[in-house]
Structure 1
């Protein structure tokens, strides 16, 4: 007997549930969900079974056939990372029914008041279950090693609608007796409510469970893609234009990686508090509104989430210690799709930005190089605290190194075989390496596989991208230290990626007057592209340009994406002699934190705790 995963109470001797049937009643007044979860095992089991929970109130556990109570207990002291262990005693049972209620502080849920939404009319709630937050919505074996199918009934106010990472079955009035003990029938069947029913027939890990409830509209942008957002025409129309090329990307993905197994690829643009650029929930990708840039460049985030349909959703990392198997492969697959759709130069810029980010992560983890490895040890470590670009960009570099060694045609055949072999499975690094060595004999003699997966830092055979555009931008950035800004004719065809790469490669120690002059000419602090704006504001903070503190504050209050929060708060609080910046960071967080998702709030709190 041993834990399956350092982040889960799930025991290796216990069977994994194969199906989950959920009934969820949404109470916006209390920011809670009352629910029931019917878990089905592949075989009858006798003895204890362990489930992960966080901040859940458990009302009962019963045999679903007889409704006889089953003994259960919650560990009295919550683990700061894993939460509480729900122990249920079974006697030759193949299923059990749990009734529960979530907490207003559930880490996977963000409840938004009407004033925190685009339309300012109705409230909104959405999930973010990666990495280990599904346990705050329902009791489960919350490890990617455990894949299960599910069905769900969501009881919501009739003015609102729901979407899920699952196939929509129907929307209908509630039916008496169907609540499955989620709550009493009077509550379930109250007037003014509707039930949205969904089913997910492919087995997924719990972190891919997702829903959103609000006043939603949609636009069709392709035969397999519908864009959802709040019913605000400007948001919906902007998203439809930005993602008009999605079907083309899906077709290129199928040519590269094999059949698209999830039937639909719908997109949901969430309110600004969503903490990530995108989340690859199958059938229903969640996106930040900051990817709507107006020039279709936001489609690169969609390309990444689409690539997860093969590398991450079809094949998942077994635990978070092997997270690179999801993100390294997906970053490689994303850039192959971008190359096919937008060209080699754009893909090279994408790679260049990633290379810069990888080098910055080496500095971030200089005091704990364990997290510069691909295969990490995370016992006692919250995966949110060590989330970084390392699994993405070092993982990409490893996959790219293999491609360069054997050639693209051979690697493409290998990749298709890898996906076909392990689809709908969760694997670890050793499984991948064994498959690699069997299918590419002698590869371990050409590439130091142990150094790449278990070594710290960036291996010497990693490769900085080479392209004419990348080289030009890099040269222009080096000249800035001597006071030469790029001429307007040199940047006339630049878009967000080019400016981002330029700003990220500028020297860190530049004069405040140079930063102000650059902005006076190109208005970077006012950019509608947040990657450009944040890169510039980070430079302004490090150069001591206090006149940009107002724009920094505005940015930190209008978006909740961690890609922007982490570098801006870090820039404000790092270093000595920056008391004014530190005071600003503390004040702004105090005023803005209620608008941040709980995951993002925790990340910022850890940054402030470390430096203040």
Structure 2
């Protein structure tokens, strides 16, 4: 009997071992990512505890990044790091060794930390350096009030790794807590729950409960004040700017309501905007709960607030449902432009929405022409291997993506398309999507159930713009063109014809100057409308571009252009003007201005203009 029991036990053990070997492998939920060293299918971060001290005198952030991890019995966890001083690491609270891989100019270094299959937490002690790309330290003179220094971060696309060692891929979503210590006269705010007033001791604690991609972790520090617009919207800015910002963005709550009416609840609790100093490289950055915005959007008449609608729309397309890789970037921006224009239509009417869309269509035409030698860059789904993901952040993703969705809407009908999009955001909330998974969702939930044939593959995987594109028209733009022609033909300017024009009409008017326009014509228009001294940054930018294109030098415009380029760091604006200089064979003048303006720009803008002008960093 004992012998039989022993044999039976051995049989059961052998059977279990054999079956254990046959168990299904761990499900690999993350796709291959060319812009991150992380191996999330082996070990992935899930929550960050950040504890940092910000020193404005040395311009260094020092602290720790501690991660709760999900571990698939891995022998190491790999983080991304760039231009960071890694001091030491810990695993489950115990000191541990680490290894930094070879340096790559775009990706930085792999930070490899050995772990065991039971490891639950890793901690990195580190400092930023003077090469850290995400940070811009500003002197008091570079701020609006000129009294205190300022700091802001810019993480998109792969710069968060330069101020926090992290798995810097958009498909990796984490929650985070942070303790940030700053000089007591300053306020710190993040893409998280934020204070409304300064603390006494300069210590700030933050919590982001919803999982976000690393590029959306953001920090700003300055002499800030807060003013509410509604119980869930408001603005942060320096004292001299906060009232202007509140007045300019007074429709924020209406925008949130309009967005919710379209595509479902706003899932981030609070929607605030911080107006940063003018060196901020983008129009806006959709950091959850706290959009970062350029002061160039403050025109005094709410005419440029489509940017706020755009960043709000990202709360669904981008923040809630995120591109899995930077090759899929159009899923963030094409959807967001579509959503932005729908918000603007709901609040301000179809005429204004169509004008915004048509300006984007013009930008797209110029972008396609600019890529005539690289047609593959005009595809929606890109292959950015061995390239900076910033290379794909252009009008193709934004405006071709929008045009694809607008064309699709016209094909299936607005009500059907709205129901589809609302369900898409709800189904994929707090997750990431590849282009291929979107196409599968589109086919299964919109095209096939409705018996609709659409050239999706051509739109996404082929260069250029398909023939079945939506045609955007604007009667107001046609009137602007006729008015311009009248002024040029009669050599007379009747300002009563333009007194009710929007920013979009003025931009279209200026953009449509013919090649034959003379400097006398430009002077006449400038004297009538004072374009050279325009306080609206978009109007000023397109006017300065035309002044460069047509060799116009009236009304001290050359000095105004130089002042604009030194003061404003918004990449779109400055790259447009430097391109114009280059096209007009005025590269020497452009480089002279750039020598002065470069120290005021964020690294995102610097990297673009360095390449554009062939700037010698040495």
Partner of residue 236, structure 2: 228
Instruction: Look up the SS of the partner of 1:16 in the other structure.
Output: strand
Question: What is the CA distance between 1:476 and its match in structure 2?
Answer: 4.1
Q: 2:125 aligns with which of 99, 104, 108?
A: 99
Q: 1:468 aligns with which of 461, 472, 475?
A: 475
Alpha-carbon separation, structure 2, partners of 1:139 and 1:444: 48
Partner of residue 403, structure 1: 409
Q: 1:560 aligns with which of 562, 566, 569?
A: 569
Alpha-carbon separation, structure 2, partners of 1:388 and 1:397: 14
Q: Provide the aligned length of Structure 1 versus Structure 2.
A: 585
Change (3 A) 1:391 1:425: same
Note the alpha carbon deviations across 1:131-187, whole angstroms, 9 max, x for none.
1100001111111010100000001111111011101379998xxxxxxxxxxxxxx
Instruction: Look up the SS of the partner of 1:201 in the other structure.
Output: strand
Contact 2:186 2:198 in 1 (8 A): no
CA RMSD of aligned residues (A): 2.1
Partner of residue 189, structure 1: none
Runs of 4+ in 1 over 3 A off after TM superposition: 168-173, 441-445, 474-487
Partner of residue 190, structure 2: 164
**Correspondence 1:211 to 2:219:** yes
Instruction: Look up the SS of the partner of 1:568 in the other structure.
Output: helix
Q: 2:514 aligns with which of 490, 502, 507?
A: 507
Contact 2:226 2:234 in 1 (8 A): yes
Instruction: Look up the SS of the partner of 1:462 in the other structure.
Output: coil
Runs of 5+ unmatched residues, structure 1: 174-191
Contact 1:352 1:464 in 2 (8 A): no
Note the alpha carbon deviations across 1:90-133, whole angstroms, 9 max, x for none.
11212111001011221111000111111111111001101110
Alpha-carbon separation, structure 2, partners of 1:15 and 1:342: 48
Contact 2:384 2:392 in 1 (8 A): no
Contact 1:508 1:542 in 2 (8 A): no
Partner of residue 283, structure 2: 277
Aligned pairs for 1:381-460 (under 5 A) are: 381-442=387-448, 446-460=453-467
Alpha-carbon separation, structure 1, partners of 2:391 and 2:38: 22
Q: 2:152 aligns with which of 113, 126, 138?
A: 126
- Give TM-score scaled by structure 1 length: 0.92
Instruction: Look up the SS of the partner of 1:446 in the other structure.
Output: coil
Alpha-carbon separation, structure 1, partners of 2:232 and 2:298: 20
Alpha-carbon separation, structure 1, partners of 2:115 and 2:548: 58
Question: What is the CA distance between 1:364 and its match in structure 2?
Answer: 1.4
Change (3 A) 1:461 1:484: farther
**Correspondence 1:33 to 2:61:** yes
Contact 2:69 2:121 in 1 (8 A): yes
Change (3 A) 1:484 1:344: farther
Instruction: Look up the SS of the partner of 2:394 in the other structure.
Output: coil
- Give TM-score scaled by structure 2 length: 0.91
Change (3 A) 1:610 1:503: farther
Alpha-carbon separation, structure 1, partners of 2:100 and 2:130: 19
Partner of residue 524, structure 1: 531
Change (3 A) 1:610 1:406: farther
Runs of 5+ unmatched residues, structure 2: 1-27
Change (3 A) 1:18 1:471: same
Question: What is the CA distance between 1:220 and its match in structure 2?
Answer: 1.1
Question: What is the CA distance between 1:483 and its match in structure 2?
Answer: 7.0
Instruction: Look up the SS of the partner of 1:465 in the other structure.
Output: coil
Alpha-carbon separation, structure 1, partners of 2:371 and 2:486: 29
**Correspondence 1:135 to 2:161:** yes
**Correspondence 1:83 to 2:104:** no
Question: What is the CA distance between 1:466 and its match in structure 2?
Answer: 1.8
Contact 1:172 1:195 in 2 (8 A): no
Larger Rg: 2
Contact 2:197 2:225 in 1 (8 A): no
Partner of residue 601, structure 2: 596
Contact 1:3 1:10 in 2 (8 A): no
Alpha-carbon separation, structure 2, partners of 1:295 and 1:119: 22
Partner of residue 186, structure 1: none
Change (3 A) 1:444 1:212: farther
Q: 2:329 aligns with which of 323, 328, 340?
A: 323
Change (3 A) 1:414 1:593: same
Alpha-carbon separation, structure 1, partners of 2:466 and 2:478: 22
